[in-house]
Structure 1
Amino acid sequence: MQTFDLSLIWAGIIGFGIIMYVLMDGFDLGLGILFPFAPDEDARDVMMNSVAPIWDGNETWLVLGGAGLLGAFPLVYSVFLPALYIGVFLMLAGLIFRGVAFEFRFKSKRNRHWWNRAFCWGSAVATFAQGAVVGTYIQGFETEGFVYVGGALDWLTPFTVLTGLGMMAGYSLLGATWLILKSEGHVQEWAYRITPKLLAAVLVVFAIISAWTPFVDGSVRERWFGQVSLIWLLPVLAMACAYGIYRWVSHRREGMPFIATLGMFIFTYLGLVVSKWPVIVPPDHTIWDAASAPESQLFLLLGVLFVIPIVLTYTAWSYWVFRGKVRTGEGYH
């Protein structure tokens, strides 16, 4: 007899994979968004060199989350793919352009400016698409059972455009604080200067989305305002992290702004999770509705529990090997 809920375990694994992807790949996408605003070409070299050894490993979490979702909750794809096909295609196309730019920019002299643009636009498009997908999840899908009956562009609304822009601002903030940690000299000073402005942009968008969401989804409004609960601790902690970013940047701390930005993302993500839990396909399909057979979940779980420690070990080892500052004129390539 089964004594544990495999759907809950898989929801935890997929949720962990998603937040790991956001944290790990978010800052290098953010660097791409900031690329055109860098003070000079040397600064762009430092920005790209700071993530060149690790960016492809960061995307492992996207593969893990997507594959786990397909295996554990296959019915989700019957809604998500037709509803989000264009948005997901744009995200993958952006990630491809960003990846190609990593390899070719350092090898091209005469056409380097084109690879700069590919790196920037690939990062921006992929980030905006991710934010729009999150916004679509918040506003819900038009379904009959597990069949999507909405239009191909229902994912593109004023609300999802705002969440897409908010994701761009958030990833840019992650990128700027990462650059504070990894750079020095005029590059670091530039990152210090832009971080408070990016933080202000994130907070403005966060406030608008927070005020708008209860009108988009009545169940979220009921969960947050229907009764007093510890759920309000999450935005309080997120705002504490935001204050920490501002304070530590003002005091020219190097590592703490990045850690506080990670914390801000984590608490915001947890706020989204508790707002929707246990719904996996809004407005009303839960993780148990979408789950595959327990035998399938158990079979896949044995493999994933073997893979995750390997990925975590490899990720930690990569960050340890390439720790320290990235200096102008030096690089991974």
Structure 2
Amino acid sequence: MAQIAWYAITLFCLAMYVLLDGYDLGIGVLLLADRDDERRREMVELVATAWDGNESWLVLLGVALFGGLPAAYGVLLPALYVPVLVMLFAIIFRGVAIEMISAAPGFPRGWGWAFGLGSLVASFAQGVTLGGLLSGVALRGGVFAGASFDFLTPYAVLTGFAAVALYATAGAAVLRVKTEGALYRRAMLAGRAALVATVALAAASAAALAPATATPVRLGEPGRLAAFVVLVLVAAAGLGLAGRGFGRRPDWVATAGVTAAEGAGLAGLLVAIYPVVVPPRLDLAAAAAPAGSLNFLLVGVGVNLPLVLFYNWYAHHVFRGKYRVLLAARPTGQSAAARATDPTPATPRGKVTP
């Protein structure tokens, strides 16, 4: 029971990271296609309000793997060192870029490119990490027995592009909710294009999973097959809803559709391969820590997980609604996050306080 509970917690952290940090990585990807400095600053400021909280789920995911699934952690880290390190450096680089842009007057284009490219590289590296994992990890005696670049398969490259497209779709959906005017309209067009790419790449990734990877797909049981079919239908419906949301109001429809598709797609993959944790052979029973350790860890997670959830909720609650008010109220060179905690009354740009 403790093994299943910890596995569920690990997957929950993964899902929350994909849902939350996925959209702000996607906004960074979309920034690369925009040449208007005011819109680009607006996109960065929007990400600055929540990116650090969103990325807390990546930290929790690492802790969950290290503490609760140590055998999986010990295998995955050497097998996926390269894409994981590339992802982490890209995330650090874009974090620095966010702070530099928020603190600078105007829009420093060099840091804008750093933010966009950091988002693109991190997104692609995450997709490659997933594809490399699904391609299979060579094991001998319970330890990694492959080479440093075994992860780099055609399937991993495919899932890398799929992750970029999916995150761009999620970013466009959030921009629909949070912005208006020219950026709102551009988000609609970008979202449609990214959604088409997402559907094509996701379908190709799903179709190639069994023939192109070492991942065991276990759909022979009627109950498992039924659950998988339902989840696939939910994911397809979510993508359809997102397409509808990019064409008409209310603005939240596209975000709801993308969220449903991401959650159902991840759940469908897990249903298809459970109890395998690291393809092709390492399962949950072999990967999990002893029951006593898991029970001890569950106490700590029971305290910390609600705090992280509250922190994320609060950050999004404080900056709810359209973003125009924050931009109008923010003095030049001050980030939106700093504006929210600054007790000084807001003064519109171009006016001087007596």
TM-score w.r.t. length of structure 2: 0.89
Q: Percent identity?
A: 36
**Could you say which residue in structure 2 is the equivalent of 1:322?**
319
Judged with a 3 Å threshold, the aligned counterparts in structure 2 of structure 1 residues 130 and 218 are, in CA distance, closer, same or farther, namely closer
Query: Contact 2:132–2:151 (CA<8 Å) still a contact in 1?
Result: yes
Q: CA deviation at 1:109?
A: 5.1
In structure 2, list runs of 5 or more residues that go unmatched: 331-335, 339-354
Judged with a 3 Å threshold, the aligned counterparts in structure 2 of structure 1 residues 43 and 249 are, in CA distance, closer, same or farther, namely same
Query: Contact 1:224–1:231 (CA<8 Å) still a contact in 2?
Result: no
Deviates more, 1:93-102 or 1:75-84: 75-84
1:203 pairs, out of 191, 199, 204, with 199
CA RMSD of aligned residues (A): 1.9
Q: Output the CA distance in 1 between the equivalents of 2:69 and 2:248.
A: 47
What's the secondary structure of 1:186's corresponding residue? helix
**Could you say which residue in structure 2 is the equivalent of 1:82?**
78
One-letter code of the match for 2:321?
Answer: G
1:305 pairs, out of 299, 302, 306, with 302
2:288 pairs, out of 287, 291, 296, with 291
Q: CA deviation at 1:79?
A: 1.1
Judged with a 3 Å threshold, the aligned counterparts in structure 2 of structure 1 residues 224 and 119 are, in CA distance, closer, same or farther, namely farther
- More RCO (CA 8 Å, sep 6+): 1
Q: CA deviation at 1:219?
A: 5.8
TM-score w.r.t. length of structure 1: 0.94
Query: Does residue 1:46 correspond to 2:42, yes or no?
Result: yes
Once the two structures are superposed, residues 228-275 of structure 1 have per-residue CA deviations (whole angstroms, 9 ceiling, x without a partner) of 533111111111111111122222331111111111100111111112
**Could you say which residue in structure 1 is the equivalent of 2:163?**
167
Query: Does residue 1:103 correspond to 2:137, yes or no?
Result: no
Q: CA deviation at 1:82?
A: 1.1
Judged with a 3 Å threshold, the aligned counterparts in structure 2 of structure 1 residues 79 and 65 are, in CA distance, closer, same or farther, namely same
Q: CA deviation at 1:145?
A: 2.6
What's the secondary structure of 2:210's corresponding residue? helix
Query: Contact 1:39–1:187 (CA<8 Å) still a contact in 2?
Result: no
1:270 pairs, out of 263, 267, 270, with 267
One-letter code of the match for 2:76?
Answer: F
What's the secondary structure of 1:252's corresponding residue? coil
2:5 pairs, out of 9, 31, 34, with 9
User: 5 Å matches for 1:126-205?
Assistant: 126-205=122-201
1:279 pairs, out of 259, 276, 284, with 276
Q: CA deviation at 1:39?
A: 4.7
How many residue pairs match? The answer is 329
Judged with a 3 Å threshold, the aligned counterparts in structure 2 of structure 1 residues 218 and 55 are, in CA distance, closer, same or farther, namely closer
Deviates more, 1:7-16 or 1:35-44: 35-44
What's the secondary structure of 1:37's corresponding residue? coil
**Could you say which residue in structure 2 is the equivalent of 1:33?**
29
Q: Output the CA distance in 1 between the equivalents of 2:23 and 2:91.
A: 14
Query: Does residue 1:254 correspond to 2:247, yes or no?
Result: no
Query: Contact 1:76–1:146 (CA<8 Å) still a contact in 2?
Result: no
One-letter code of the match for 2:120?
Answer: A
Q: Output the CA distance in 2 between the equivalents of 1:306 and 1:221.
A: 35
Once the two structures are superposed, residues 75-121 of structure 1 have per-residue CA deviations (whole angstroms, 9 ceiling, x without a partner) of 11221111101111001000000100010113345881110111011
Q: Output the CA distance in 2 between the equivalents of 1:180 and 1:240.
A: 19
Deviates more, 1:154-163 or 1:239-248: 239-248
Query: Contact 1:76–1:290 (CA<8 Å) still a contact in 2?
Result: yes
One-letter code of the match for 2:143?
Answer: V
One-letter code of the match for 2:246?
Answer: V
In structure 1, list runs of 5 or more residues that go unmatched: none
**Could you say which residue in structure 2 is the equivalent of 1:230?**
227
Q: CA deviation at 1:284?
A: 1.2
Judged with a 3 Å threshold, the aligned counterparts in structure 2 of structure 1 residues 228 and 128 are, in CA distance, closer, same or farther, namely closer
